[in-house]
Amino acid sequence: MLGHLTYEQRLRQLRAQVRDLESVAVAFSGGVDSAVLLHVAHMELGAAACGVIADSPSLPREELAAARELARGMGVRLHEVATAEMDEPRYLANRGDRCYFCKSALFSAMEPWARAQGIACVAFGEITDDLLDDRPGARAAGEFGVVAPLRTAGFDKNDVRRYAREAGLAVADKPAAACLASRIPVGSRVSTAKLARVETAEKALHRLGLRQVRVRHLGAMARVEVGADEMDAAWALGEKLAAAVRAAGFTAMELHPYLPPAQRGASRQQGVAE
């Protein structure tokens, strides 16, 4: 266990681990965890480190644009790969292990590209907090030999946010995010139409000024979740919020505070993934 180490000691271990990789392709989402790993890799390995992002229907366009901008700001090469999870019936079935097939599709695309580029290793931004939640994607990472330097160095969410702030990364305080498919309850099939409806609704709510947003696709009903500190602002939007959700194709909505996975409890039993 590394909990007894100071942040500075954990950071030294992280840097040493990354240097030992010699060259690495980091699975990059634009979130704070993968951004920190990519930044450390770039600082330690220079041009021998790059990011790889999956361009798929489950990635919001605004998130892709932000990830591109972040990589440019860090001076890091970013490669975009098309992933084929939508061709996998078990992913579409959404039986609770959807993330396994999503990550398998990502690593299946990354691995041959990295090998062709002469890159020795593929890494992803798993942290110690992730061990507290059911993460089928981590199983896929293990099968593909993908390493998790942040986790093995003992980095948790506080650590990655501290590093990001000290490094001046724009995502230091970015709320946690997840793919659009996480808005579809377990047992309800994933489709491009559902993903597009969720993306349209969330984009509209962001434009209304809400920062942390989840629009759960419950058929004609949208369960809109916003950060607990934004609930008053969401209620104040009133008809504007309801109209934005209707314009995305939902006929009804209900408003709730967003709860992180560790606090979810009953919602997890209802099939809410993230």
Q: What is the pLDDT of residues 200-209, one digit of tens each?
A: 999 999 999 9
Least Cα distance to 82 among 50, 116, 54, 113 occurs for 54
Is 203:60 a contact under the CB 8 Å cutoff?
A: yes
Q: What is the Cα–Cα distance from 204 to 207, expressed in whole angstroms?
A: 5
Is 210:233 a contact under the CB 8 Å cutoff?
A: yes
Percent of the chain surpassing pLDDT 70 = 94
**Residue 2's pLDDT is what?**
62
Mean pLDDT, the chain, integer? 93
- CATH 3.40.50.2000 for domain 7-167: no
**Residue 163's pLDDT is what?**
98
**Residue 260's pLDDT is what?**
79
Delimit the CATH 3.40.50.620 region(s) of the chain: 7-167
Average pLDDT (57-66) is: 95
CA 2 to chain CA centroid, Å, is 25
Average pLDDT (51-70) is: 96
C-alpha dihedral, 129 to 131 to 135 to 137, nearest 10°: 90
Q: What is the Cα–Cα distance from 100 to 105, expressed in whole angstroms?
A: 9
Least Cα distance to 198 among 244, 240, 254, 236 occurs for 244
- List the alpha helices (DSSP H) in 2-148: 7-21, 32-45, 61-74, 89-93, 98-116, 136-144
Q: What is the pLDDT of residues 12-26, one digit of tens each?
A: 999 999 999 999 999
User: Counting beta carbons within 10 angstroms of the beta carbon of residue 113, is it exposed (0 to 12), middle (13 to 18) or buried (19 or more)?
Assistant: middle
Least Cα distance to 67 among 122, 21, 27 occurs for 27
- All residues at 6 or more sequence positions from 105 whose CB lies less than 8 Å from its CB, including other chains: 54, 56, 83, 84, 85, 88, 91
**Residue 155's pLDDT is what?**
97
How is domain 180-269 classified at the architecture level of CATH? 2-Layer Sandwich (3.30)
Residue with tokens 């948790």: 156
Measured between alpha carbons, how far is residue 198 from residues 184, 248, 263 in Å?
Answer: 9, 7, 23
Average pLDDT (111-134) is: 92
